[in-house]
Amino acid sequence: MILPIYTYGQPVLRKVAEDIDPVAYPELKKLIADMFETMDSADGVGLAAPQIGLPVRVVVVNLDVLSEEHPEYAGFRKAYINPHIVDLSGDEVAMEEGCLSLPGIHETVKRKDRIRVTYLDEELGMHDEIVEGYLARVMQHEFDHLEGKMFIDHLSALRKQMIKGKLNALLKGKAHCTYKVKTVK
Ligand code: NI
């Protein structure tokens, strides 16, 4: 089922999301399936549960769409349950980002190129991994959502000022995108 994506201004995007008990959580498989379907319908590379209105630590990522440029990501579609970044290291790399909750806004964001993460996979296997490159960027963006953060929080005061008009338009319910959204108004 395709769910509406909550956009900038929705309070759930500013909450710290909670770990879930994956065994007791009702219909976790369906939630993950719906999140994949919603992300795909919006051509996203990642989606965090707060973006569909749920303040829980569940994220889906699809890097297969990048496999022409990055063959190592062919078939890469994964769900992350209770992910946490336990270490950020490496160099800072600047790259343009967008976000399904911020339609029409694309800005350059500096992020670390090497992180250590812990999470459960869909089969509830535990992972503690060092992640580098593009995936490290996507994870930092998506896991930020679980801390109530969005990529615009990383911008300079000047860049924030430059996109203020677009943010205000979103707060007024004006979202220009092809997918279903739930704006504040
Ligand atoms: Ni995002």
Q: What are phi and psi of 48, to 5 degrees?
A: -110, 145
Q: Report pLDDT for 185.
A: 83
Q: What are phi and psi of 75, to 5 degrees?
A: 75, 10
Q: Is 27 among the catalytic positions?
A: no
Active-site pick, 27, 68, 123, 142: 142
Q: Where residue 89 sits, what CATH number does that domain have?
A: 3.90.45.10
CA of 120 to the centre of ligand 1 (A): 20
Closest CA to 36 of 73, 84, 2, 64: 2
CA of 144 to the centre of ligand 1 (A): 8
Instruction: Give the residue numbers spanning the domain of 148.
Output: 5-179
Total number of domains constituting the chain: 1
129-178 per-position pLDDT tens digit: 999 999 999 999 999 999 999 999 999 999 999 999 999 999 999 999 99
Residue 79 located in a structural domain = yes
Is residue 168 helix, strand or coil?
A: helix
Residue 109 located in a structural domain = yes
CA of 135 to the centre of ligand 1 (A): 14
Number of Cβ within 10 Å of residue 97's Cβ equals: 21
DSSP conformation class of 146:
H
Residue 184 located in a structural domain = no
Residue 185 located in a structural domain = no
Give pTM, 2 decimals.
0.97
